[in-house]
Amino acid sequence: MSNQNVNPDAGQIKFLCEAGLLLVSKGKFAEACDIFQGVIALIPKRSIGYTLLGDTWMSMGKHEDAIKIHQQAVDLEPDNTFARVHLGETHLMMKKKDKGLAELRKVAEADPNGADGTLAKHLIKASELGVFTKA
C-alpha cells in the first residue's frame, strides 16, 4: 500500500457531512458518528467533523464528550463561528450559562449579520428567557 495523502475536495466532504446529518435525522447515531469520525480522519485540521460529531454526541446524551470535542473544534479554528456557536449552545444545554453566553457573544460580535451570529443572538435571548434553566 502506498503512503499517499488523501486530499478530498470540498464536494466530497460536503457529501459525507450531509450523509451523516441524514443518518442523525433518522436516529442512526452510531452510523453518523462513524461518518463524522471519517471526516475528522480526512481533514483533521478543520473543525467541521468535530462539530458535527459533538452535535451527534449531544443527541446521544454523551454531554461531556460533546463539550470536549466542540472545544477541540474551536481550538482548531478559533475564528470559525459555526464551531463556536455550537460550543456555546452545548454549554447552555449543559447548564453552563456563563461559558455558553461568553462563546455566543463572541459569535454575535464576529458575525453580526450572518447565520451563526443570528443563531447566537437567538440562543442568548432564549437563555435570558430561562429556556436553558428549565428541567
* Whole-number pLDDT of residue 107: 98
> Is 81 inside a domain boundary?
yes
Residue 85 belongs to domain spanning? 10-133
Structure-block grid coordinates of residue 13? 466532504
What residues in the chain have per-residue pLDDT under 70?
1-4, 135
* Whole-number pLDDT of residue 135: 61
Counting the structural domains of the chain, the total is 1
* Whole-number pLDDT of residue 51: 98
> Is 2 inside a domain boundary?
no
CATH number for the domain that contains residue 119:
1.25.40.10
Pick from 53, 51, 41, 100: which is nearest to 80 by CA? 51
Residue 55: CA count within 13 A, CB half-sphere = 20
Pick from 52, 36, 38: which is nearest to 90 by CA? 52
* Whole-number pLDDT of residue 116: 98
> Is 27 inside a domain boundary?
yes
* Whole-number pLDDT of residue 2: 47
